[in-house]
């Protein structure tokens, strides 16, 4: 089983390298609870939201994702 801190670090690293996700302007909080990744915050557009969830789902050791991301209104 993977350590929760390592999984969270891996997700954050994937997001940092994705150009469509701007974590400095739109920070995303991420926690791991009982194997489920909880993702909270606002993102700039729907593409950033979809990509953030896709990248998070690609990490080994995550059972499910609780999506609490919101797209910032235009």
Residue 15 buriedness (CB in 10 A; 0-12 / 13-18 / 19+): buried
pLDDT at 20: 95
CA distance 34 to 15: 22
> Is the entire prediction scored with pTM above 0.85?
yes
Fold for the domain defined by 4-71: 3.30.1340
For the stretch 4-63, pLDDT in tens is: 899 999 999 999 999 999 999 999 999 999 989 999 999 999 999 999 999 999 999 999
CB neighbourhood size of 11 (10 A): 23
Question: Residue ranges of the domains in the chain?
Answer: 4-71
Tokens for 59? Answer: 């990490």
């Amino acid at each position: 089983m993977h350590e929760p801190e390592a999984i969270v670090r891996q997700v954050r690293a994937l997001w940092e390298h994705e150009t469509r996700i701007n974590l400095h302007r739109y920070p995303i909080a991420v926690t791991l609870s009982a194997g489920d990744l909880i993702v909270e915050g606002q993102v700039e557009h729907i593409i950033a939201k979809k990509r953030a969830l896709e990248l998070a789902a690609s990490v080994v050791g995550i059972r499910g994702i609780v999506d609490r991301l919101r797209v910032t209104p235009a």
